[in-house]
Amino acid sequence: MNAPVFPALTEPDAVQAVIALARWCGAKGWVPATAGNFSARIDLARAACTATGGDKGETSEANVIICDIEENLTGTPHPRLSAEGPLHLQLYKDDPSIGAVAHAHPVSAVVLSRRHLSQGKIVLEGWEMQKAIRGITTHESTIELPIFANDQDTRRLGLRVSEAMKDWSGPVFGYLIAGHGIYAWGKDLRETRRHLEAYAHLLDLTLEEERRA
C-alpha cells in the first residue's frame, strides 16, 4: 500500500472538519431535509463521519461519530452510522490518499445523474472551471464523472464503485448516484470542498446547456 498523503488529524480536528464541510454545504442548499453525509479521515483505520439523520446544515459535535473503517465495512456497523456511511469508508479503504469525502444533493447532480445513467458517465469538456480539479490545467481537457444506479445496499454499491475505480482514466475525484446526488473527495477538507463546488458548477452549466439545446 502506498504511504498516505492526507494531513494527519486528531479526532477533535477531524470532527471540526466534518462540521465545517457539512455546514458549508447546508449554506449552499445542497443538503435539504436530512440529505447529505460528510467525513474526514483521522488515520488509515478511522474516520469521523456525520451520524444518521438530522439537518446536516446544523451539524454539531453531537452529530459526528468516529468509525473504524474495516469494522463498519465488514463487521457490525456503528449504531449511528448513516446508511451511506459505507460509501465514504470504502473510498478511504481503497485510496489512502483520500483525506475527506462529501456527499451532497445539488439539483443539477440529482437531475443529470438520472438523465445520463444509461451512458454510465457525464463527460465534461471545454469549461474553464475544469481547471479547479486537481491535475487539470486547461479547459481543452476532457473529464468524466461516473454514474452508478442507486442501491439501498450501500456496502454492495461501495464494492461496485471500488471495482469500477480500477478502470477510471484521468483525474476522477467524484461520482454520481442516479437520482441521488454526488460524492466528491480530495486529499483534505479544502481540496474536497473545491472539487465538490467545481463539479456542482460544471453540472449546473451542463444542465443549462442541455435545457437550451
pLDDT digits (tens, 9 = 90+) for 74-94: 999 999 999 999 999 999 999
Check pLDDT > 60 for residue 173: yes
Using the structure block, give the residue that is written with the C-alpha cell 444533493: 105
Domain edges within the chain: 11-212
Check pLDDT > 60 for residue 177: yes
Between 3.40.225.10, 3.40.50.11540, 3.50.50.60, 1.10.1030.10, what CATH number should domain 11-212 receive?
3.40.225.10
Q: List helix spans (H) across the chain.
A: 11-27, 69-74, 85-94, 107-115, 154-165, 189-212
Question: What is the per-residue pLDDT for 169?
Answer: 84
CB 69, CB 97: distance < 8 Å: no
Q: Report the number of secondary-structure helices (H) and strands (E) in the chain.
A: 6, 8
Using the structure block, give the residue that is written with the C-alpha cell 478511522: 46
Residues of the chain with pLDDT > 70: what percent?
97
Range in 41-45, 90-94, 166-170 the model is least confident about: 166-170
Distance from C-alpha of 161 to C-alpha of 57, rounded to nearest angstrom: 27
Average pLDDT of the residues in 14-27: 97
Average pLDDT of the residues in 138-165: 96
Distance from C-alpha of 62 to C-alpha of 157, rounded to nearest angstrom: 28
Average pLDDT of the residues in 44-57: 96
Distance from C-alpha of 183 to C-alpha of 192, rounded to nearest angstrom: 10
